[in-house]
Structure 1
Protein backbone atom coordinates (compact mmCIF):
# COMPACT_ATOMS: atom_id res chain seq x y z
CA UNK A 1 0.00 0.00 0.00
CA UNK A 2 1.01 3.60 -0.58
CA UNK A 3 -0.25 6.56 1.41
CA UNK A 4 0.00 9.92 -0.34
CA UNK A 5 0.28 12.57 2.35
CA UNK A 6 1.30 16.16 3.05
CA UNK A 7 2.96 16.98 6.40
CA UNK A 8 0.48 18.19 9.01
CA UNK A 9 -2.51 17.96 6.67
CA UNK A 10 -5.58 15.79 7.30
CA UNK A 11 -3.59 12.86 5.86
CA UNK A 12 -1.94 12.62 9.29
CA UNK A 13 -5.09 10.78 10.42
CA UNK A 14 -4.71 7.75 8.07
CA UNK A 15 -0.94 7.97 8.56
CA UNK A 16 -1.44 7.41 12.29
CA UNK A 17 -4.04 4.70 11.58
CA UNK A 18 -1.60 2.82 9.35
CA UNK A 19 1.01 2.85 12.12
CA UNK A 20 -1.63 1.66 14.60
CA UNK A 21 -2.62 -1.15 12.21
CA UNK A 22 0.84 -2.66 11.88
CA UNK A 23 0.27 -3.07 8.11
CA UNK A 24 3.18 -2.51 5.75
CA UNK A 25 2.90 0.64 3.69
CA UNK A 26 4.93 3.18 1.76
CA UNK A 27 4.84 6.92 2.47
CA UNK A 28 4.69 9.18 -0.58
CA UNK A 29 4.94 12.91 0.07
CA UNK A 30 2.48 14.90 -2.05
CA UNK A 31 2.88 18.50 -0.84
CA UNK A 32 -0.37 20.44 -1.07
CA UNK A 33 1.44 23.61 -2.19
CA UNK A 34 3.46 22.22 -5.11
CA UNK A 35 1.41 19.10 -6.00
CA UNK A 36 4.68 17.55 -7.12
CA UNK A 37 6.13 14.28 -5.86
CA UNK A 38 9.81 13.86 -5.08
CA UNK A 39 10.36 12.12 -8.43
CA UNK A 40 8.81 15.06 -10.29
CA UNK A 41 5.44 13.40 -10.93
CA UNK A 42 2.50 15.80 -11.11
CA UNK A 43 0.21 14.65 -8.27
CA UNK A 44 -2.85 15.69 -10.29
CA UNK A 45 -2.12 12.70 -12.58
CA UNK A 46 -2.63 10.45 -9.54
CA UNK A 47 -5.48 12.30 -7.85
CA UNK A 48 -7.23 14.75 -10.21
CA UNK A 49 -8.60 16.62 -7.17
CA UNK A 50 -5.04 17.30 -6.06
CA UNK A 51 -5.54 16.82 -2.34
CA UNK A 52 -4.52 14.26 0.25
CA UNK A 53 -4.93 11.67 1.63
CA UNK A 54 -5.02 9.01 -1.06
CA UNK A 55 -4.43 5.32 -0.39
CA UNK A 56 -3.21 3.16 -3.25
CA UNK A 57 -3.60 -0.58 -2.78
CA UNK A 58 -1.15 -3.16 -4.10
CA UNK A 59 -3.42 -3.89 -7.09
CA UNK A 60 -3.47 -0.20 -8.05
CA UNK A 61 -6.94 0.54 -6.65
CA UNK A 62 -7.08 4.01 -5.11
CA UNK A 63 -9.26 5.08 -2.19
CA UNK A 64 -9.80 8.78 -1.53
CA UNK A 65 -11.24 10.65 1.48
CA UNK A 66 -9.84 10.19 4.96
CA UNK A 67 -12.95 8.74 6.66
CA UNK A 68 -13.21 6.01 4.00
CA UNK A 69 -9.48 5.29 4.09
CA UNK A 70 -9.27 4.86 7.87
CA UNK A 71 -12.25 2.49 7.89
CA UNK A 72 -10.69 0.43 5.10
CA UNK A 73 -7.46 0.16 7.10
CA UNK A 74 -9.32 -0.78 10.27
CA UNK A 75 -11.24 -3.53 8.46
CA UNK A 76 -7.99 -5.14 7.30
CA UNK A 77 -6.96 -5.78 10.92
CA UNK A 78 -10.17 -6.46 12.88
CA UNK A 79 -8.13 -7.90 15.75
CA UNK A 80 -6.75 -4.41 16.42
CA UNK A 81 -10.30 -3.15 17.14
CA UNK A 82 -9.69 0.20 15.43
CA UNK A 83 -13.32 0.21 14.31
CA UNK A 84 -16.39 -1.73 15.47
CA UNK A 85 -17.67 -4.44 13.11
CA UNK A 86 -19.61 -3.34 10.04
CA UNK A 87 -23.37 -3.39 10.49
CA UNK A 88 -23.27 -2.81 14.24
CA UNK A 89 -24.75 0.20 15.98
CA UNK A 90 -21.28 1.04 17.28
CA UNK A 91 -19.96 1.23 13.70
CA UNK A 92 -22.66 3.76 12.85
CA UNK A 93 -21.64 5.77 15.91
CA UNK A 94 -18.07 5.75 14.62
CA UNK A 95 -19.25 6.90 11.20
CA UNK A 96 -21.24 9.64 12.89
CA UNK A 97 -18.07 10.91 14.57
CA UNK A 98 -16.05 10.73 11.34
CA UNK A 99 -18.76 12.66 9.50
CA UNK A 100 -19.05 15.28 12.24
CA UNK A 101 -15.27 15.83 12.36
CA UNK A 102 -15.13 16.06 8.56
CA UNK A 103 -18.05 18.40 8.01
CA UNK A 104 -18.24 20.47 11.19
CA UNK A 105 -14.58 20.72 12.24
CA UNK A 106 -12.31 19.93 9.29
CA UNK A 107 -14.31 22.04 6.84
CA UNK A 108 -14.81 24.61 9.58
CA UNK A 109 -11.07 25.22 9.75
CA UNK A 110 -10.64 25.50 5.96
CA UNK A 111 -11.50 29.22 5.55
CA UNK A 112 -8.94 30.08 8.25
CA UNK A 113 -6.10 28.74 6.07
CA UNK A 114 -7.16 30.93 3.15
CA UNK A 115 -5.41 34.30 3.12
CA UNK A 116 -8.26 35.70 1.02
CA UNK A 117 -10.89 35.05 3.69
CA UNK A 118 -12.12 38.41 5.04
CA UNK A 119 -11.30 39.07 8.70
CA UNK A 120 -14.94 39.59 9.65
CA UNK A 121 -15.86 36.21 8.16
CA UNK A 122 -12.99 34.53 10.03
CA UNK A 123 -14.53 35.80 13.29
CA UNK A 124 -17.82 34.10 12.40
CA UNK A 125 -15.99 30.90 11.44
CA UNK A 126 -14.02 30.82 14.71
CA UNK A 127 -17.16 31.39 16.81
CA UNK A 128 -18.89 28.46 15.10
CA UNK A 129 -15.82 26.24 15.47
CA UNK A 130 -15.57 27.02 19.16
CA UNK A 131 -19.24 26.17 19.69
CA UNK A 132 -18.71 22.80 17.98
CA UNK A 133 -15.53 22.13 19.97
CA UNK A 134 -17.30 23.02 23.21
CA UNK A 135 -19.83 20.29 22.38
CA UNK A 136 -17.02 17.80 21.67
CA UNK A 137 -15.41 18.74 24.99
CA UNK A 138 -18.64 17.84 26.74
CA UNK A 139 -18.88 14.53 24.85
CA UNK A 140 -15.38 13.60 26.06
CA UNK A 141 -16.27 14.08 29.72
CA UNK A 142 -15.46 10.89 31.61
CA UNK A 143 -14.15 9.15 28.48
CA UNK A 144 -10.65 8.28 27.32
CA UNK A 145 -11.54 8.50 23.63
CA UNK A 146 -14.47 9.49 21.42
CA UNK A 147 -15.96 5.98 21.45
CA UNK A 148 -15.35 5.42 25.17
CA UNK A 149 -12.29 3.70 26.56
CA UNK A 150 -11.30 2.12 23.23
CA UNK A 151 -9.13 3.98 20.72
CA UNK A 152 -10.75 4.10 17.27
CA UNK A 153 -10.00 5.62 13.87
CA UNK A 154 -12.08 8.68 14.84
CA UNK A 155 -9.48 9.68 17.42
CA UNK A 156 -6.54 10.45 15.12
CA UNK A 157 -8.90 12.50 12.95
CA UNK A 158 -9.98 14.69 15.89
CA UNK A 159 -6.36 14.90 17.04
CA UNK A 160 -5.20 16.00 13.58
CA UNK A 161 -7.87 18.65 13.15
CA UNK A 162 -7.37 20.13 16.62
CA UNK A 163 -3.63 20.36 15.86
CA UNK A 164 -4.54 23.16 13.46
CA UNK A 165 -6.07 25.41 16.12
CA UNK A 166 -2.89 27.25 17.19
CA UNK A 167 -1.78 27.65 13.56
CA UNK A 168 -4.88 29.68 12.70
CA UNK A 169 -5.48 31.57 15.94
CA UNK A 170 -8.19 29.40 17.49
CA UNK A 171 -7.73 29.21 21.26
CA UNK A 172 -8.90 25.81 22.53
CA UNK A 173 -6.94 25.96 25.80
CA UNK A 174 -10.17 26.25 27.80
CA UNK A 175 -11.42 22.83 26.74
CA UNK A 176 -9.92 20.61 29.44
CA UNK A 177 -11.36 17.32 28.16
CA UNK A 178 -10.04 17.95 24.65
CA UNK A 179 -6.64 18.86 26.15
CA UNK A 180 -6.52 15.61 28.15
CA UNK A 181 -7.65 13.64 25.08
CA UNK A 182 -4.93 15.25 22.96
CA UNK A 183 -2.28 14.32 25.54
CA UNK A 184 -3.45 10.69 25.58
CA UNK A 185 -3.42 10.45 21.80
CA UNK A 186 -0.07 12.24 21.46
CA UNK A 187 1.53 9.72 23.83
CA UNK A 188 0.68 6.75 21.60
CA UNK A 189 3.75 5.28 19.83
CA UNK A 190 1.95 5.13 16.48
CA UNK A 191 1.09 8.84 16.72
CA UNK A 192 4.66 9.74 17.55
CA UNK A 193 5.97 7.58 14.68
CA UNK A 194 3.69 9.25 12.13
CA UNK A 195 4.43 12.74 13.39
CA UNK A 196 8.19 12.12 13.38
CA UNK A 197 7.99 10.89 9.79
CA UNK A 198 6.15 14.06 8.81
CA UNK A 199 8.67 16.27 10.57
CA UNK A 200 6.14 17.40 13.17
CA UNK A 201 8.17 15.94 16.05
CA UNK A 202 11.93 15.80 16.44
Structure 2
Protein backbone atom coordinates (compact mmCIF):
# COMPACT_ATOMS: atom_id res chain seq x y z
CA UNK A 1 0.00 0.00 0.00
CA UNK A 2 1.04 3.58 -0.61
CA UNK A 3 0.26 6.45 1.74
CA UNK A 4 0.50 9.86 0.16
CA UNK A 5 1.35 12.24 2.97
CA UNK A 6 2.67 15.64 3.92
CA UNK A 7 4.76 15.96 7.10
CA UNK A 8 2.67 17.04 10.12
CA UNK A 9 -0.55 17.08 8.06
CA UNK A 10 -3.61 15.05 9.05
CA UNK A 11 -2.18 12.16 7.00
CA UNK A 12 0.08 11.62 9.99
CA UNK A 13 -2.78 9.93 11.88
CA UNK A 14 -2.94 7.15 9.27
CA UNK A 15 0.85 6.89 9.33
CA UNK A 16 0.77 6.45 13.12
CA UNK A 17 -1.93 3.77 12.98
CA UNK A 18 -0.09 1.82 10.29
CA UNK A 19 3.01 1.78 12.50
CA UNK A 20 0.94 0.86 15.56
CA UNK A 21 -0.42 -2.16 13.68
CA UNK A 22 2.82 -3.09 11.93
CA UNK A 23 1.30 -2.50 8.49
CA UNK A 24 4.01 -1.84 5.89
CA UNK A 25 3.43 1.27 3.81
CA UNK A 26 5.27 2.94 1.00
CA UNK A 27 5.33 6.61 1.99
CA UNK A 28 4.97 9.07 -0.88
CA UNK A 29 5.58 12.69 0.07
CA UNK A 30 3.34 15.39 -1.37
CA UNK A 31 4.21 19.07 -1.59
CA UNK A 32 0.77 20.49 -0.82
CA UNK A 33 1.84 24.06 -1.51
CA UNK A 34 2.45 23.16 -5.16
CA UNK A 35 0.41 19.94 -5.33
CA UNK A 36 3.30 17.96 -6.76
CA UNK A 37 5.23 14.82 -5.85
CA UNK A 38 8.99 14.61 -5.43
CA UNK A 39 9.39 13.74 -9.12
CA UNK A 40 7.42 16.85 -10.12
CA UNK A 41 4.28 14.98 -11.19
CA UNK A 42 0.88 16.53 -10.55
CA UNK A 43 -0.78 15.22 -7.39
CA UNK A 44 -4.20 16.18 -8.78
CA UNK A 45 -3.73 13.51 -11.44
CA UNK A 46 -3.72 10.91 -8.65
CA UNK A 47 -6.15 12.57 -6.27
CA UNK A 48 -8.44 15.20 -7.84
CA UNK A 49 -9.32 16.44 -4.34
CA UNK A 50 -5.76 17.67 -4.05
CA UNK A 51 -5.19 16.91 -0.39
CA UNK A 52 -3.80 14.20 1.86
CA UNK A 53 -4.14 11.54 3.04
CA UNK A 54 -4.53 9.31 0.04
CA UNK A 55 -4.15 5.56 0.54
CA UNK A 56 -3.67 3.42 -2.56
CA UNK A 57 -4.30 -0.26 -1.89
CA UNK A 58 -2.31 -3.06 -3.48
CA UNK A 59 -5.10 -3.63 -6.02
CA UNK A 60 -4.98 0.03 -7.07
CA UNK A 61 -8.08 1.14 -5.16
CA UNK A 62 -7.65 4.72 -3.93
CA UNK A 63 -9.13 5.83 -0.61
CA UNK A 64 -9.35 9.44 0.54
CA UNK A 65 -10.66 11.12 3.72
CA UNK A 66 -8.68 10.56 6.87
CA UNK A 67 -11.47 9.08 8.98
CA UNK A 68 -12.22 6.46 6.31
CA UNK A 69 -8.56 5.54 5.92
CA UNK A 70 -8.19 5.18 9.69
CA UNK A 71 -11.16 2.79 9.77
CA UNK A 72 -9.82 0.82 6.82
CA UNK A 73 -6.44 0.31 8.48
CA UNK A 74 -8.08 -0.57 11.80
CA UNK A 75 -10.23 -3.13 10.00
CA UNK A 76 -7.14 -5.04 8.89
CA UNK A 77 -6.60 -5.98 12.55
CA UNK A 78 -10.09 -5.89 14.16
CA UNK A 79 -10.26 -5.05 17.82
CA UNK A 80 -6.76 -3.60 18.16
CA UNK A 81 -7.03 0.15 17.47
CA UNK A 82 -10.82 0.19 17.06
CA UNK A 83 -13.58 -2.03 18.42
CA UNK A 84 -14.52 -4.95 16.19
CA UNK A 85 -17.57 -4.41 13.95
CA UNK A 86 -19.83 -6.44 16.26
CA UNK A 87 -18.67 -4.62 19.43
CA UNK A 88 -21.23 -2.05 20.70
CA UNK A 89 -18.29 0.17 21.74
CA UNK A 90 -17.66 0.77 18.04
CA UNK A 91 -20.50 3.29 17.94
CA UNK A 92 -18.88 5.41 20.65
CA UNK A 93 -15.60 5.36 18.74
CA UNK A 94 -17.33 6.44 15.53
CA UNK A 95 -19.08 9.23 17.44
CA UNK A 96 -15.78 10.56 18.77
CA UNK A 97 -14.11 10.12 15.37
CA UNK A 98 -16.82 12.20 13.70
CA UNK A 99 -16.57 14.87 16.41
CA UNK A 100 -12.80 15.17 16.03
CA UNK A 101 -13.05 15.25 12.23
CA UNK A 102 -15.77 17.88 12.00
CA UNK A 103 -15.48 20.00 15.12
CA UNK A 104 -11.80 19.86 16.10
CA UNK A 105 -10.09 19.34 12.74
CA UNK A 106 -12.20 21.65 10.61
CA UNK A 107 -12.72 24.12 13.45
CA UNK A 108 -9.02 24.53 14.13
CA UNK A 109 -8.03 24.54 10.44
CA UNK A 110 -9.83 27.84 9.93
CA UNK A 111 -7.71 29.42 12.65
CA UNK A 112 -4.52 28.50 10.79
CA UNK A 113 -5.84 29.95 7.53
CA UNK A 114 -4.04 33.27 6.92
CA UNK A 115 -7.05 34.49 4.92
CA UNK A 116 -9.18 34.51 8.08
CA UNK A 117 -8.13 37.88 9.50
CA UNK A 118 -11.36 39.37 10.87
CA UNK A 119 -10.81 39.57 14.67
CA UNK A 120 -14.50 39.00 15.38
CA UNK A 121 -14.55 35.83 13.28
CA UNK A 122 -11.32 34.62 14.87
CA UNK A 123 -12.70 35.20 18.36
CA UNK A 124 -15.79 33.15 17.51
CA UNK A 125 -13.59 30.35 16.19
CA UNK A 126 -11.39 30.40 19.30
CA UNK A 127 -14.41 30.26 21.62
CA UNK A 128 -15.97 27.39 19.66
CA UNK A 129 -12.73 25.43 19.58
CA UNK A 130 -12.24 26.04 23.29
CA UNK A 131 -15.70 24.71 24.09
CA UNK A 132 -15.02 21.58 22.06
CA UNK A 133 -11.62 21.05 23.67
CA UNK A 134 -13.33 21.33 27.06
CA UNK A 135 -15.58 18.42 26.08
CA UNK A 136 -12.54 16.28 25.28
CA UNK A 137 -10.87 17.44 28.49
CA UNK A 138 -13.89 16.08 30.35
CA UNK A 139 -13.62 12.72 28.62
CA UNK A 140 -10.10 12.37 30.00
CA UNK A 141 -11.13 13.05 33.60
CA UNK A 142 -10.85 9.39 34.57
CA UNK A 143 -9.29 7.91 31.46
CA UNK A 144 -5.96 7.71 29.68
CA UNK A 145 -7.54 7.40 26.23
CA UNK A 146 -10.59 8.90 24.54
CA UNK A 147 -12.52 5.66 24.01
CA UNK A 148 -12.14 2.61 26.22
CA UNK A 149 -8.93 1.74 28.01
CA UNK A 150 -6.60 1.38 25.03
CA UNK A 151 -5.01 3.52 22.31
CA UNK A 152 -7.25 3.82 19.25
CA UNK A 153 -7.60 5.64 15.94
CA UNK A 154 -9.22 8.63 17.66
CA UNK A 155 -6.17 9.09 19.88
CA UNK A 156 -3.88 9.11 16.84
CA UNK A 157 -6.10 11.67 15.13
CA UNK A 158 -6.38 13.97 18.13
CA UNK A 159 -2.63 13.76 18.75
CA UNK A 160 -1.98 15.21 15.30
CA UNK A 161 -4.41 18.08 15.86
CA UNK A 162 -3.00 18.88 19.30
CA UNK A 163 0.44 18.88 17.72
CA UNK A 164 -0.79 21.46 15.22
CA UNK A 165 -1.94 23.63 18.11
CA UNK A 166 1.45 23.30 19.78
CA UNK A 167 3.25 24.22 16.55
CA UNK A 168 0.93 27.18 16.00
CA UNK A 169 1.46 28.24 19.64
CA UNK A 170 -2.23 27.95 20.48
CA UNK A 171 -2.42 28.13 24.28
CA UNK A 172 -3.67 24.81 25.66
CA UNK A 173 -2.99 25.58 29.32
CA UNK A 174 -6.73 25.84 30.07
CA UNK A 175 -6.99 22.10 29.35
CA UNK A 176 -4.25 20.45 31.45
CA UNK A 177 -5.52 16.92 30.87
CA UNK A 178 -5.16 17.39 27.12
CA UNK A 179 -1.64 18.76 27.62
CA UNK A 180 -0.69 15.70 29.70
CA UNK A 181 -2.43 13.39 27.21
CA UNK A 182 -0.44 14.88 24.32
CA UNK A 183 2.80 14.44 26.27
CA UNK A 184 1.99 10.78 27.03
CA UNK A 185 1.15 10.04 23.42
CA UNK A 186 4.34 11.74 22.21
CA UNK A 187 6.33 9.00 23.92
CA UNK A 188 4.41 6.18 22.24
CA UNK A 189 6.75 4.20 19.93
CA UNK A 190 4.43 4.30 16.90
CA UNK A 191 4.04 8.06 17.21
CA UNK A 192 7.73 8.70 17.78
CA UNK A 193 8.57 6.53 14.75
CA UNK A 194 6.06 8.34 12.52
CA UNK A 195 7.39 11.75 13.58
CA UNK A 196 10.94 10.62 12.89
CA UNK A 197 10.05 9.18 9.48
CA UNK A 198 8.40 12.48 8.53
CA UNK A 199 11.50 14.41 9.55
CA UNK A 200 9.85 16.00 12.57
CA UNK A 201 11.89 14.33 15.29
CA UNK A 202 15.52 13.31 15.57
TM-score normalised over the length of structure 2: 0.95
What corresponds to 2:115 in structure 1?
116
**Alignment gaps of 5+ in structure 2:** none
**Contact map agreement 1:7 1:31 (CA 8 A) in 2:** no
Alignment of 1:20-31 (within 5 A): 20-31=20-31
> In structure 1, what is the Cα distance between the partners aligned to 2:186 and 2:174?
18
> In structure 2, what is the Cα distance between the partners aligned to 1:85 and 1:43?
34
For residues 46-105 of structure 1, give each alpha carbon's deviation from its aligned partner in whole angstroms, at most 9, with x where no partner exists: 1101000010001100111111101111111226x1110114321111111110001000
What corresponds to 1:131 in structure 2?
131
Query: How many residues end up aligned between the 2 structures?
Result: 201
> In structure 2, what is the Cα distance between the partners aligned to 1:122 and 1:78?
41
> In structure 2, what is the Cα distance between the partners aligned to 1:46 and 1:195?
25
**Which ranges of 4 or more aligned residues in structure 1 deviate by more than 2 Å?**
166-170
TM-score normalised over the length of structure 1: 0.95
Alignment of 1:1-202 (within 5 A): 1-78=1-78, 81-120=80-119, 121-202=121-202
**Alignment gaps of 5+ in structure 1:** none
> In structure 1, what is the Cα distance between the partners aligned to 2:32 and 2:112?
12
For residues 109-155 of structure 1, give each alpha carbon's deviation from its aligned partner in whole angstroms, at most 9, with x where no partner exists: 12122211123111211111011101110111110100132111110
